[in-house]
């Protein structure tokens, strides 16, 4: 019987895979110390990000069952 692959817990909390196979994640540094940060910077933290193509292979490898 074939063994199941385990999903990395850290990856499943941070990344999601879109329908087109792109990896989405939230901006870093957007949870505290807001007095020092500008309005523009704080507004940009609200939006999600799409991972760069150089890192996508490793992220998808950590999420074996997250593919569309």
Write the pLDDT tens digit of every residue in 1-59. Answer: 889 999 999 999 999 999 888 999 999 999 999 999 999 999 999 999 999 999 899 99
Is the CB of residue 50 less than 8 Å from the CB of residue 23?
A: yes
Domains in the chain: how many in total? 1
> What is the 3-state composition of the chain as percent helix, strand, coil, each rounded to the nearest 5?
35, 15, 50
Say if 2 falls within a structural domain. no
**Which pair of tokens denotes residue 55?**
């890192």
CATH number at residue 15: 4.10.410.60
Is the CB of residue 7 less than 8 Å from the CB of residue 63?
A: yes
pTM of the model: 0.77
Cα of first residue to Cα of last residue in the chain, in angstroms, is: 25
Say if 23 falls within a structural domain. yes
Domain assignment of residue 15, given as a range: 9-62
């Amino acid at each position: 019987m074939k063994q199941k692959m385990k999903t990395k817990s850290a990856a499943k909390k941070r990344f999601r895979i879109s329908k087109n196979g792109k990896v989405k994640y939230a901006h870093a540094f957007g949870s505290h110390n807001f007095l020092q940060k500008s309005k523009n910077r704080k507004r940009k933290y609200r939006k999600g990000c799409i991972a760069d193509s150089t890192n996508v292979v490793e992220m998808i490898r950590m999420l074996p069952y997250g593919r569309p």
